[in-house]
Structure 1
Amino acid sequence: MHGTIFTLLKRYVQTQYDHSTWIQLLENSGLTATDFDHKHVYPDEHMYRLVGQAAEMTGLSADELHEKFGEYLVPDLMYMYQRLLQPGWNTLDMIEHTENTMHRQVRSEHAENAPPVLNVTRIGPDELFIDYVSKRRMGALAVGIVRGLAKYFDEADVIKVEPTTNENGEEVRIRVRRIKPTA
């Protein structure tokens, strides 16, 4: 997993808790603060250990932590890839184009990077399905990112995100739809 994700995880923990919590998390995981640099790729096992320890420390499930972290990531991801975005996009458009814009860019910059494959099927103007495919089994992170995108595009009150399969699988189906606000 790319070091940038670990750097953002560190900032997330420090923002939600404090620096000493991050240090304790590293120690409990058997890792050191010098392990992560945004220019390198690290074993996925490091993320599993950190999230597992964070779950023990907070009492939240790993899926809940992945979702919260996914939401947190969105503003930074949007900033990093702003040159690839179209001004008129909304939440559903962003999801529909992620694979052929951001993920393509990530794969071309670093051959060892392996973001999940997102097979998106647009059902209509207000609905789509995401078929998330990754051996990392972090579908909950994708769910969190979708929720974060809805917040980013100021659509959180009208975007409904529904995983239709277990979020821990290598293949996860996520239904995303825009609902009509109630009057």
Structure 2
Amino acid sequence: MQAAGHFRALTLFAESPDSVRGSRQMVGACLRDWGLPLLIDDACLVVSELVGNVVHHAVPDECLARPGNARRVDITLKMWPKWLFIGVSDEDSTPPDLPVGEVMSPDLAVEFSEAVLPDRGRGLFIVHRLVDSVWWSPGDVGGKTVWCRIDLDCGSGDRSA
């Protein structure tokens, strides 16, 4: 039986060559510990895309930038009885290019993927397709957090139903 809720956090640095792999390992270990093994593949892909966006695109706000310092990436996992939340925070307050609703029919995406996929934001498009909700929030002193919610099926972590 699962407890009422769980929380885990990890801080990485974007310049580390292991930042994306480390984020996936932490997410996989948490979800195994929390009895949600069926979510591991999707959640690891989601966190890979979000951390990869920080690594490749985030530029720290002037108030957070320190010459010579690495860019901080904070990963938060929260599980409640009906939801899993994944948050990836960075030091860049520029809003992410989140897809708005269904960008295209999934049937068209299979046949014409190169023609219909956007030139940018593909990682967030993938994230949007794997989770139940995506949003972002500004940080208190700069930066932002991109949040994802995965709805759990009666707490079992089985999304195949």
Q: Quick check: which one's helix share is greater?
A: 1
Q: Quick check: which one's strand share is greater?
A: 2
What TM-score results when the alignment is normalised by the length of structure 2?
Answer: 0.30
What TM-score results when the alignment is normalised by the length of structure 1?
Answer: 0.27
